[in-house]
Amino acid sequence: MSIAYDPETVEKNAREYWETSRCFEVVEDKNKEKFYCLTMFPYPSGKLHMGHVRVFTINDVIARYQRMQGRHVLQPMGWDAFGMPAENAAIQRSVPPAQWTYSNIDDMRAQLKRLGYAYDWTREITTCRPEYYRWEQWLFVTLFKKGLVYRKNAIVNWDPVDQTVLANEQVIDGRGWRSDALVERREIPQWFMKITAYADELLDGLDHMPGWPDSVKIMQRNWIGRSEGLELSFEVQDEDEPLTVFTTRPDTLFGVTYMAVAAEHPLAEKAAADNADIATFIEACKKMGAAEATLETIEKKGMPLGISALHPISGEQVPVWVANFVLMSYGTGAVMGVPGHDERDWQFAKKHGLPIVQVIAPSDGSDIEIDAAAFLDKGVLINSGDFNGLDFDAAVDAITKFFEASGRGSWTINYRLRDWGVSRQRYWGTPIPIIYCDDCDAVPVPVDQLPVVLPEEVEFTGHGSPLKDMPEFINVACPQCGKDAKRETDTFDTFVESSWYYARYTGPDNEQAMLDERAAYWLPVDQYTGGIEHAILHLLYARFFHKVLRDEGLIDTNEPFTNLLTQGMVLKDGGKMSKAKGNTVDPQGLIDKFGADTVRLFMMFAAPPEQALEWSDAGVQGSFRFLKRFWNTVGEHADGGPVVELELDSLTDTQKNLRRKTHQTIAKISDDIGRRYTFNTAIAAAMELLNAVNRFDDESDTGRAVVHEALEAVVLMLSPVVPHACHALWSVLGHATPIIDMAWPKVDEQALVRDVIEIVVQVNGKLRGRISVPIDADNDAVSAQALADPNVQRFVGKNEVLRTIVVPGRLVNIVV
């Protein structure tokens, strides 16, 4: 008599086997085909949440499936350990961020082990450890020397009450989240990495990444935003510095009726000096977020500065305005306004009574009313002096030539992508390895003095970085001249750590170099899985770093991630699970109650990975019930003792049918997991086969052998999803070799052969009958049989058959 399914024991046994056999620890082996299978590593926020369980389970299924395909699989795990929540916890609970983080890591590691993921734990990475971050300090210094790192002013959110810099997330409706004070824009010097130097390569690479979803590639392409256009200058009356602007529509140049500059622009500041209204307006502009979403949705406001720019061709005067939607740090801090042919400019001109001039007419000669709406199409130039009558191409060509000849403009390539600001005014991050000396300016910390270690024992107040109160950290001798100097107290954006961790997993123990020859064996990552919310920033920064590391000679490939799978969120009651809503479901409780396999199964069954997953407690019950049924079916079969060898020639039709179902299912699941990543349909197919086995009532020797084949297939194919149960069931089926060392089952093409198939018959596209036809019947025979069907005849009747469409093997459509 078989024993009842007890996940607690079953899972403990499997875990112990994996641990003692160390079967997931891998070393480089040139004779084996490697498969590097990675998820985006978690931020150690406390406990695992459902989103973690989902992404890790998806990746674990792929890793275990690939292992069964014979690949040498590396699946590592680590911790994206620097970040803001640790600082918040420190303020709330008076625990240093380091202590909080390490304790969370210990808890979450234990949870991951309980879930049975096939990780090589010998490669674990923790980014807040100096042995990790020292190498990104080294890289920063190296890039500094190469000129790929520079310092410039950039905007931050300043909380005037808490006297601290806020993250965008901490600004709620323009106010500080703790102080409720109106947040101000403030410019401070910050460090930047020149990602724009790689803009073209990052863009072109997207064309050679078939393993990435189109949606992600399109988003990145739009983000980089390469455009070609004319860069030109407007002289400003009584000023030495011209206003430089970029336009992709030089053909509309004669339609410029105003210029707009940012509040921080020198022209605006100058005008504010002797005009109180302008000064007030500029102050108001600065009390506004810098986020693109804000700029694009706010009410567009502006004020004339009382100065004029000179149109570079006509010489006419156009007024210069200051506007709240122009930012100094993006581009040149100035834009030209062409209200006749740009939607936003049109709105702005309408509102402020600025003239709207039509300079483009429709190509078909029709009339338009420029006062009613902007005309955005390309057309023929009018009101454009010598350029009247030219079409778009000719006009762009002629106007560009005019500027290039006069030296006041040139055809250039422009990117929406901006350089990556990596400075953060926070404590819990990698110290930026820079020393400021009064004589030598910013000096990188010499490589032999790295790492600059972040002190972990700190008092945390929440008012700025504790590093600023630590003279022992700040005061240092200038590496160049030896004079007293001061350390940078800013730390890196945490995206810096996550931009190269995937490479460090290949050699996490190397104390002499960032990366070594092991990177060449494992990279690139074959399968990368993570949230769609990282489609742009993280994935673009990682691609950038990969190219930088390549140019440093540390790796020899162009792209970090060959195949990308972006999984959807886990929802509850149609919305995001969040602590604020109080609708979180703790995976631990479910693991304790049902076991890890039930949780894994539900996660994979409830939705395809790319879609949002709606959480359902009842669905978890269903998964548990299925596992019990699965367990009992295999157990009851095994109770009948060993089975005989299958004699394929002597099968009955029913036996043949079950066998066909077995091999159809192998084909289906192999495709679902291997190609489509639709684990939900793979599990559904396994359930179907198991249902067929349960309906199959044949205790003969051959019957039991057919069942045995089906059950072996199901156990093997479900083992990536529910590995603990399948580890046990494989031995129940009489095998000495552990299932973790088994290969994926193979399809017997002979078993799939059938001689009669069912065809659907439609009349005028509506389903009216089904017929059985020989597999090799020709189209004429099939349509004749379809027409003969009694129900089909009812609808065809005396009507004339106009057309008959036969889709071989599928359907017949009779058009009357």
Please say whether the beta carbons of 195 and 419 come within 8 A: yes
Residue 537 is a binding residue for RNA (CB under 7 A): yes
By CB under 7 A, the residues from 496 to 525 that bind RNA are: 498
Q: Is 218 in the site for RNA (CB under 7 A)?
A: yes
**Which of 153, 215, 280, 772 is in the footprint of RNA by CB under 7 A?**
215
Question: Which member of 229, 455, 608, 674 binds RNA (CB under 7 A)?
Answer: 608
Looking at beta carbons only, is 291 or 781 nearer to RNA?
Answer: 291
- Residue among 92, 222, 280, 799 that touches RNA (CB under 7 A): 222
- Which positions from 417 through 436 interact with RNA, judged by CB under 7 A? 417-418, 420-421, 423-426
Q: Which two tokens stand for residue 129?
A: 């450890």
Q: State in Å, rounded, how far the first CA of the chain is from the last one.
A: 63
DSSP 128: T
Q: Is 618 in the site for RNA (CB under 7 A)?
A: yes
Residue 626 as a binder of RNA (CB under 7 A): the answer is yes
519 close to 475: Cβ distance less than 8 angstroms = no
Q: Is 810 in the site for RNA (CB under 7 A)?
A: yes
Nearer to RNA, 26 or 288 (CB): 288
**Segment contacting RNA (CB under 7 A): 226-234, 267-275, 405-413, 615-623?**
615-623
CB of 290 or CB of 485, closer to RNA: 290
- Helix (H/G/I), strand (E/B), else coil: 306: strand
Alpha-carbon torsion (338, 344, 346, 349), positive or negative: negative
Looking at the Cβ atoms of 162 and 671, the one nearer to RNA is 671
Residues binding RNA: number (CB under 7 A): 103
The 10 Å Cβ neighbour count of residue 799 is 12
Q: If binding is defined by CB under 7 A, does position 293 make contact with RNA?
A: yes
**Binding of RNA by 169 (CB under 7 A):** yes
Contact 613/635 with Cβ under 8 angstroms?
Answer: no
- Measured N-to-C along each axis, helices 130-146 and 537-551 cross at an angle, to the nearest 10 degrees, of 70
- Taking Cα atoms as reference points, which of 599, 435, 638, 528 lies closest to residue 50? 599
Nearer to RNA, 399 or 713 (CB): 713
Binding mask 35-64 for RNA (x = CB under 7 A): --------x---------------------
Instruction: Examine residue 296 and tell whether it contacts RNA (CB under 7 A).
Output: yes
Quote the CA–CA distance of 510 and 69 in Å, as a whole number.
Answer: 31
Site string for RNA, 765-794 (x = CB under 7 A): xxxx-x--------------------x--x
Place of tokens 């401070």: 188
Q: What is the CA radius of gyration of the chain?
A: 34
**Is-contact 323 305, C-beta < 8 A?**
no
Q: How far is CA 393 from the centre of its chain?
A: 38
Write the DSSP string, 780-808: HHHHHHHHH-HHHHHHHTTS---EEEEET
Q: d(Cα 559, Cα 221) in Å, to the nearest integer?
A: 15
CA atoms lying within 13 Å on the CB side of residue 301 = 12
Among 260, 320, 525, 535, binds RNA (CB under 7 A): 535
Q: Note whether 815 binds RNA by CB under 7 A.
A: yes
Among 165, 272, 320, 374, binds RNA (CB under 7 A): 165
Q: How far is the CB of 445 from RNA (least distance, A)?
A: 21
Q: Which of residues 377-416 bind RNA (CB under 7 A)?
A: 416
| List 758, 779, 781, 808, residue binding RNA (CB under 7 A) | 758
3-state SS assignment for residue 132: helix
User: Is 707:696 a contact under the CB 8 Å cutoff?
Assistant: yes
Please, which of residues 313-372 interact with RNA by CB under 7 A? none
Which among 130-138, 172-180, 292-300, 312-320 is the span making contact with RNA, rule CB under 7 A? 292-300
* The binder of RNA chosen from 112, 288, 515, 606 (CB under 7 A): 606
And the tokens for 339? 């209200």
Q: How far apart (Å, rounded) are the C-alpha atoms in residues 337 and 412?
A: 20
Residue among 69, 616, 664, 731 that touches RNA (CB under 7 A): 616
Among 30, 579, 798, 803, binds RNA (CB under 7 A): 803
**Between residue 627 and residue 656, which ones bind RNA under the rule CB under 7 A?**
628-629
